Copies of this chain bind each other. A is one copy, B any other.
Amino acid sequence: MGDFTFAKRMEPITGSAIRELLKLTAKPGMISFAGGNPGNFSLPDEEVAEIIQELLKTNGKNMLQYGPTEGYAPLVYELQKYILEEFGAEVVKDEILPVTGSSQAMDLICKAYLNPGDNVIVESPSFIGNLQCLKIYEANLIPVKSDDKGIIIEDLERLINKYNPKMLYTIPTFQNPTGISMSIDRREKIAELAAKYNMLVAEDDPYHSLRYSGENLPAIKSFDKHGKVALLGSFSKVISPGLRVGFMAGDAALIKKCTICKQSADVHTPTLNQAVVAEFLKRGLLKPNVEKACEVYKQQMDTMLEGLSQIKAVVKYTVPAGGLFIFGEIKEGENVEKYFRKAVDRGVAFVPGSPFHPEGGHENTFRLNFSNSDIDTIKKGMQILKECFDNN
């Protein structure tokens, strides 16, 4: 009835297929391997309740009053230590901006830095939400090739020379949707290329701490000597997504521009939510919470991998060392859609892989999430998937 002519930038945007799917799978009793929710068991409701009670009692007016766009100072202080310890990157106060979920960091970078038509290199497949963000800002997305060690450097340099891209968007650790991690030497190389070609790297690293085997890897940001890497971090997967607290760490000039954009985006990230995360870090609660989650997630992943190995139609799948996702393939030329419909009818949801590919295609791929279902549910769901995939 409104009869609106919307902005031109919205014409190719249809909304996140995943978020529409999630609505479908919200039906009671549905087994959901879609989405990327952390397991409910890992959400620290008691600790958060205790922290909030104390914050509101001792500093209540401050918690409920306006705060600076630059962020709640004690959180920025804790973040500085956290980014060094967890990501190996040394940053100062002016290089950190708390944001309302790390998705906001991506939005602010696009707003502050990209013009319509700018070339941006992305992994394919990659995170649908941030691909959509880039599309809304009318970026021209250029997929780079990856293997089991992440982005292939030779292909990246070839594309840089061909397209003179303004930015690279990458998820180096336990990538969404593949679960693959980039090797340490490629991380270092990407930081070098960023400096050499004056290209900003948006390094999205929300799953960094969810490691089930191997050693913690330093972020690309840790190799960044020229302020060319912006690290996007999130507490959604390690504390709580509902709190919507993340951060970006980047060159002070970029942070300043993003802060100006944030002024008129949401003024500031909710104070209480920032303070909860600050206290979580300060009290040393993050590490045990992550350890607890990892122990359970590992078992859930192993159970899902075992189930996948039993499905004949699945010809290939990733075996991640961490994160929340496994990415699978059926025979090339086939379309996973028919199995998807059958599975949803039988009460199991997952996500077809095509929407993760900016160039389209790849209808034979799919993503499974294992963090949001317990072991018995995973066993049951994988048995149903086997029946859907193999009994045609």
Taking a contact as CB atoms under 8 Å apart, the answer to whether B53 and A65 are in contact is no
Would you give 26 A-B contacts (Cβ < 8 Å), ordered by A? A2-B228, A2-B251, A2-B253, A3-B198, A4-B251, A4-B254, A6-B257, A7-B114, A15-B259, A15-B260, A37-B65, A45-B63, A48-B60, A49-B52, A49-B57, A49-B60, A52-B52, A52-B56, A65-B241, A100-B266, A100-B270, A101-B266, A103-B264, A103-B265, A107-B264, A243-B272
Residues of B contacting A7 in the complex (Cβ-Cβ under 8 angstroms): 111-115
| Interface mask (A107-129 → B, CB under 8 Å = 1, otherwise 0) | 10001111100000000000001
User: How many A residues have CB within 8 A of the partner chain?
Assistant: 90
Kindly provide the distance from the CB of A197 to the nearest chain B CB, expressed in whole angstroms.
12
Taking a contact as CB atoms under 8 Å apart, the answer to whether B60 and A264 are in contact is no
- Chain A residues close to B by CB (< 8 Å): 1-10, 13-16, 19, 22-23, 35, 37-38, 40, 43-46, 48-49, 52-53, 56-57, 60-69, 100-101, 103-104, 106-107, 111-115, 129-130, 132-133, 136, 166, 198, 200, 226-228, 236, 239-244, 250-254, 257, 259-261, 263-273
Q: How many angstroms from the CA of A46 to the CA of B265 in the assembled complex?
A: 29
Taking a contact as CB atoms under 8 Å apart, the answer to whether A264 and B136 are in contact is yes
With A57-B49, A63-B242, A242-B63 given, is the CB distance from A261 to B136 under 8 Å? Answer: yes
Counted per complex, copies of this chain come to: 2
Q: For residue A265, which residue of chain B has the nearest CB?
A: B107
Residues of B contacting A107 in the complex (Cβ-Cβ under 8 angstroms): 264-266
Residues of B contacting A112 in the complex (Cβ-Cβ under 8 angstroms): 6-7, 10
With A19-B69, A56-B52, A112-B6 given, is the CB distance from A106 to B244 under 8 Å? Answer: no
Taking a contact as CB atoms under 8 Å apart, the answer to whether B241 and A103 are in contact is no
Taking a contact as CB atoms under 8 Å apart, the answer to whether A241 and B104 are in contact is no
Taking a contact as CB atoms closer than 8 A, the residue among B43, B136, B254, B266 that contacts A244 in the complex is B266
Taking a contact as CB atoms under 8 Å apart, the answer to whether B257 and A10 are in contact is yes
